[in-house]
Amino acid sequence: MSIKDKVPVTILTGFLGSGKTTLLNRILSEEHGKRIAVIENEYGEVGIDQGLVINADEEVFEMSNGCICCTVRGDLIRVLGNLMKRRDKFDYVLVETTGLADPGPVAQTFFMDEEISSEFTLDGIVTLVDAAHIDQQLGRSDESSEQVAFADVLVLNKTDLVSDDALDTLESRLRDMNRMTRIIRAENAKVPIETVLNLSAFDLDQILKRRPTFLEPEYPFEWTGVYDLDAGKYELMLEEGPDPEMSLVALVNQGENEEELKDGAESSVRLYAEKANTLEPGNTIPYGEHINLKLEDKGNKSFILNIEKPTKIGLFTQHTAEEFNMKVIKSEENKEIPFNTERFWQAEHEHDDEVTSIAIERFGDVDPEKLNTWLGRLLSEKGVDIFRTKGFISYSGNPQRIVFQGVHMLFTAQPDKEWGNEPRRNQLVFIGRNLDEKEMKEGFDKCLI
Partner 1 sequence: MPDIESFSPRGMFHEGWTAEVNDYAIVCGWATKGKLFIVGDVAGGIFAFEGDTGKIIWKKENTHSGGLLAMSIHPEGEIFATSGQDGNIQIYNCHEGKVIKTLDLGKAWVEHLKWSNDGLFLAAASSKKVYVFNEIGEEKWVSDDHPSTVSAIKWSNNNELATACYGRVTFFDIVNNKTNQKLEWQGSLVSMELSPDGDIVACGSQDNSVHFWRRSTGMDAEMTGYPGKPSHLSFDDSGKLLATSGSERITVWSFIGDGPEGTMPGELWHHTEPISSLAFSNKGMLVASGSRDGSVVASFLKKDGNGDPVGAAFAGDLVGALSWRPDDCALAAVNAKGVVNVWKFKVRTNSF
| C-alpha–C-alpha distance, residues 120 and 114, integer Å | 10
3-state SS, 188-201, equals: CCCCCHHHCCCCCC
| Binder of partner 1 out of 2, 33, 114, 212 (CB under 8 A) | 114
| Binder of partner 1 out of 9, 37, 72, 271 (CB under 8 A) | 72
Residue closer to partner 1 (CB basis): 73 or 319: 73
Q: Count how many Cα atoms sit within 13 Å of the Cα of residue 370 in the half-sphere of its side chain.
A: 15
**DSSP states along 355-393:** EEEEEEEEES-B-HHHHHHHHHHHHHHHTTTEEEEEEEE
Q: Which stretch binds partner 1 (CB under 8 A): 58-66, 94-102, 292-300, 407-415?
A: 58-66
Residue closer to partner 1 (CB basis): 73 or 182: 73
| Binder of partner 1 out of 6, 32, 34, 78 (CB under 8 A) | 78
As measured in angstroms, the least distance from the Cβ of 36 to partner 1 is 16
| Binder of partner 1 out of 25, 55, 283, 398 (CB under 8 A) | 55
| Binder of partner 1 out of 115, 168, 336, 422 (CB under 8 A) | 115
Instruction: List beta partners, residue 96.
Output: 12, 40
Residue closer to partner 1 (CB basis): 59 or 353: 59
| C-alpha–C-alpha distance, residues 371 and 395, integer Å | 9
Residue closer to partner 1 (CB basis): 74 or 281: 74
Verify binding: residue 7, partner 1, rule CB under 8 A: no
Verify binding: residue 85, partner 1, rule CB under 8 A: yes
| C-alpha–C-alpha distance, residues 193 and 31, integer Å | 10
As measured in angstroms, the least distance from the Cβ of 66 to partner 1 is 8
Verify binding: residue 91, partner 1, rule CB under 8 A: no
Verify binding: residue 42, partner 1, rule CB under 8 A: no
Verify binding: residue 64, partner 1, rule CB under 8 A: yes
Q: Which residues of 394-433 are buried (b: 16+ CB within 10 A; e: fewer)?
A: bbeeeeebbbbbbbbbbbebeebeeeeeeeebbbbbbbbb
398, 431 in Cβ contact below 8 A?
A: no
| Binder of partner 1 out of 6, 32, 48, 59 (CB under 8 A) | 59
As measured in angstroms, the least distance from the Cβ of 114 to partner 1 is 4
Verify binding: residue 50, partner 1, rule CB under 8 A: no
Verify binding: residue 68, partner 1, rule CB under 8 A: no
Dihedral Cα 198, 158, 170, 216, nearest 10 deg: 20
Binding site for partner 1 (CB under 8 A): 54-55, 57, 59, 61-65, 70, 72, 74-75, 77-78, 82, 85-86, 113-115
